[in-house]
Amino acid sequence: MIETSVGSFSPERRMLIDGKLVEAASGKLFDNINPATEEVLGSVADAGHEDMEQAIASARRAFDETDWSTDHAFRRRCLEQLQEALESEREQMRAELVAEVGTPVRVTRGAQLDLPLEDAFRWPAEQIDQFAWERQLADGNAFGVASKRKVVKEPQGVVGAVLPWNFPFEVAANKLGPILATGNTVVVKPAPDTPWSATRLGRLIAEHTDIPAGVVNIVPSSDHLVGEDLTLDPRVDLISFTGSTVTGKRIMEKGAATLKRVFLELGGKSAMIVCEDADLAAVLPAAGGVCTHAGQGCAMLTRVLLPRSRYAEGAEILKSVMENIRYGDPTDPNNVQGPQVSAKQRDRVLSYVKKGIDEGATLAVGGGRPTHLDKGYFVEPTLFLDVDNSMTIAQEEIFGPVLAVIPYDDEEDAVRIANDSSYGLSGAVHSASAERAMAIARRIRTGSISVNGGMWYGADGPYGGYKSSGVGRQNGVEGFETYLETKLVGYIG
Ligand code: NAD
């Protein structure tokens, strides 16, 4: 049991393969580090290629040889058992996420834990009864054969689910809910920085649900290439990946040899457009959201677009917002920003800050490591003013508490700048006129957008990216379809 100031938890060190909680075949372990203290929290099984081979074989067997893929009522019951089991360990999960992810406990009250726990399994479980698994087409007479016709939805088969470290439970839940509800089997590969939230899921599945052996396998590894086996193996039908665009492209490339289906949820460089008529004092505090969880979120609004006519006024407000961000110890309930997940990520963020300065942006707040925190991978809340959209800090995903403020001339210019990005994940528009804000939102090429502060998140909301932000959708009916194949049947009788 690990005791922390926000609760205690017992981590699970073993992986789940073929229904059993096991150590790695090699007996190897790797460390799990607390990013706020740099201390080793404990360890976890370090899977090698042979463990991954076992996991893929067992997922394939469970799909091909059990009635998991066809028994709707049983699947629904299993998802309800899993929901109940997760809720019974909610407070342990909260303390564990704060420790291994470095996420502020405050963020676990929202997207990191409580929000996905609310409906990420419940909504797909309900869909099992509501979804149109079959639909009848008009009778046909092709080739002179009078036929009845229908469309049947079937699971894809074996899914390889590759998780990131920034929202490890949220992403796992939003993958597993629909993957299991639609009758697939799955091998989950958590990110090496955050293995315990996934191994806990494995233990709960093994000990508290009737989910058959092999339907879910959880395989942590310190070696990214063990995860790559999923993309190369012909027994895996689909890869569901959340993470960086670079890795997403590699998965597509490696998966091409076996024509893998892919769902990719990748990076973003989302813009918040503030119209000339907006109430800046009311609207701009939301821009401090870029520091939530140290900016480690794909849909963060990392570019703020301000009209030149009100630029000086907006810049002053934003300075004050960024200077007053509560950050530091993630167990402090007042903090919204904790550390970056690793020294590597911290250094990556700092290298972007340097690029911003080198390319001529004005560093107005932060930009370094906080002097009052001598341990942990922290970066100060950072504000860049006078950013040109062609600069690296306006084009690349920094994944840190770094806000870039870009002036624009008129509405056309704002839309042009917002869309001048290889990414297309999310965005926001603020105007005194709801109609005007909605009209601008329709012109932004992103998979989600907030209008005047509205929230789009939910298990029923199809989420994903345009352009380099991804392929396909998770959640909602579209997300359900991601994990389904379509069979067209012509029949007589
Ligand atoms: P990453 O995309 O490389 O890692 C994410 C997951 O992919 C991990 O589980 C990792 O083990 C796995 N992985 C890596 N290479 C793989 C391969 N060849 N085949 C199969 N799986 C593989 O991300 P990272 O290196 O941890 O972080 C780098 C940057 O990625 C961040 O700074 C951030 O910009 C971005 N990122 C984005 C998100 C997001 O939600 N969009 C999440 C995490 C990271």
Smallest CA-to-CA distance from 93 within 210, 204, 217, 208 is with 204
Query: What distance in Å separates the CA atoms of residue 49 and residue 260, rounded to the nearest whole number?
Result: 20
Cα-to-centroid distance, 247 and ligand 1 (Å): 6
Angle at which helices 245-255 and 224-232 cross, to 10°: 40
Residue 321, pLDDT score: 98
- Cα distances (angstroms) measured from residue 188 to each of 15, 219, 398: 10, 6, 26
| Res 200: pLDDT | 98
Check residue 220 and give its pLDDT: 98
Q: Read off the pLDDT of each residue in 67-91 and give the average, rounded to a whole number.
A: 98
A 10 A CB-CB count for 14 gives: 18
Q: What is the pLDDT of residue 334?
A: 98
CA nearest ligand 1 atom 38, residue? 243
What is the rounded end-to-end Cα distance, in angstroms, of the chain?
Answer: 63
What pLDDT score was predicted for residue 17?
Answer: 99
CA 247 to ligand 1: nearest atom: 2
Cα 20 to middle of ligand 1, angstroms = 27
CB 164 near ligand 1, within 6 Å: yes
Question: Atom 9 of ligand 1 has which residue's CA nearest to it?
Answer: 191
In the predicted model, what is the mean pLDDT of residues 332-352? Answer: 98
Task: Please tell me the predicted confidence (pLDDT) of residue 366.
Answer: 98
Q: pLDDT tens-digit profile of 196-253?
A: 999 999 999 999 999 999 999 999 999 999 999 999 999 999 999 999 999 999 999 9
C-beta separation of 266 from 248 below 8 A:
yes
pLDDT at 271: 98
What pLDDT, in 10s, does the model give residues 437-471? 999 999 999 999 999 999 999 999 999 999 999 99
Tell me the C-alpha to C-alpha distance, in Å, between residue 54 and each of 195, 232, 235. 19, 15, 12
Quote the pLDDT of residue 227: 98
Residue 86, classified by CB atoms within 10 Å of its CB into exposed (0-12), middle (13-18) or buried (19+), is buried
**Mind listing the pLDDT tens digit for each residue in 242-285?**
999 999 999 999 999 999 999 999 999 999 999 999 999 999 99
Q: Is 228 in the pocket of ligand 1 (CB under 6 A)?
A: yes
In order of 37, 270, 307, 327, 409, the CA distances from 406 in angstroms are 35, 12, 9, 25, 10
Q: Whose CA is nearest to atom 35 of ligand 1?
A: 244
For 222-233, letters b (16+ CB in 10 Å) and e give bbeebbbbbbeb
3-class secondary structure per residue, the chain:
CEEECCEEECCCCCEEECCEEECCCCCCEEEEECCCCCCEEEEEECCCHHHHHHHHHHHHHHHHHCCCCCCHHHHHHHHHHHHHHHHHCHHHHHHHHHHHHCCCHHHHCCCCCHHHHHHCCHHHHHHHHHCCCEEEEEEECHHHCCEEEEEEEEECCEEEEECCCCCHHHHHHHHHHHHHHCCCEEEEECCCCCCHHHHHHHHHHHHHCCCCCCCEEECCCCCHHHHHHHHHCCCCCEEEEECCHHHHHHHHHHHHHHCCEEEEECCCCEEEEECCCCCHHHHHHHHHHHHHHHHCCCCCEEEEEEEHHHHHHHHHHHHHHHHCCCECCCCCCCCCECCCCCHHHHHHHHHHHHHHHHCCCEEEECCCCCCCCCCCCCCCCEEEECCCCCCHHHHCCCCCCEEEEEEECCHHHHHHHHHCCCEECCEEEECCCHHHHHHHHHCCCCCCCEECCCCCCCCCCCECCEECCEECCECHHHHHHHCEEEEEEEECC
Q: Whose CA is nearest to atom 43 of ligand 1?
A: 243
Average pLDDT over residues 108-123: 97
For 399, other C-beta atoms within 10 Å of its C-beta total 23
Ligand 1 binding pocket includes 398 (Cβ within 6 Å): no
What pLDDT does 459 receive?
96
Q: Given its phi and psi angles, is residue 216 left (phi above 0), alpha (psi -120 to 50 degrees) or beta? A: beta
227 lines ligand 1 (CB under 6 A): yes
Distance from Cα 34 to the centre of ligand 1, integer Å: 19
Answer for the pair 291, 325: CB distance below 8 angstroms, yes or no.
yes
Please work out whether the CB of residue 36 comes within 6 Å of at least one atom of ligand 1: no
* C-beta of 231 in contact with ligand 1 (< 6 A): yes
Share of the chain above pLDDT 70, in %: 100
Chain mean pLDDT for the chain: 98
pTM of the model: 0.97
Dist. CA 492–CA 454, nearest whole Å: 51
Minimum CA distance residue for ligand 1 atom 18: 228
Tell me the best of 101, 112, 162 to mutate to test the pocket of ligand 1, counting ligand atoms within 8 Å of each CB and taking the most.
162
Testing ligand 1's pocket by substitution, the residue of 236, 244, 377 carrying the most ligand atoms inside 8 A of its CB is 244
pLDDT computed for residue 493 by the predictor: 92
State the average pLDDT over residues 148-174: 98
Pocket test for ligand 1, best of 162, 199, 247, 293 (most atoms within 8 A of CB): 247
Domains of the chain: 2-266+469-491 (3.40.605.10), 270-458 (3.40.309.10)
Q: How far apart are CA 304 and CA 387, in angstroms?
A: 10
24 Cβ contact list (under 8 Å, min separation 6): 15, 45, 46, 47, 48, 51
Q: What is the pLDDT of residue 437?
A: 98
- pLDDT (0 to 100) of residue 226: 98
What pLDDT score was predicted for residue 357?
Answer: 98
Q: Report whether residue 250 contacts ligand 1, using a CB cutoff of 6 Å.
A: yes
In this prediction, residue 157 carries a pLDDT of: 98
Question: What is the arithmetic mean of pLDDT over 354-370?
Answer: 98
Q: How far is the CA of 192 from the centre of ligand 1 (A)?
A: 10
46, 187, 224, 474: which to mutate for ligand 1, most atoms within 8 A of CB? 224
Residue 82 has a pLDDT of 98
Q: Kindly list the catalytic residues.
A: 265, 298
Is residue 199 a contact partner of residue 171, using CB atoms and an 8 Å limit? no
Residue 482 pLDDT: 98
For residue range 131-151, list pLDDT tens digits in order: 999 999 999 999 999 999 999
Q: What is the pLDDT, as a whole number, of residue 475?
A: 97
| pLDDT value of residue 489 | 98
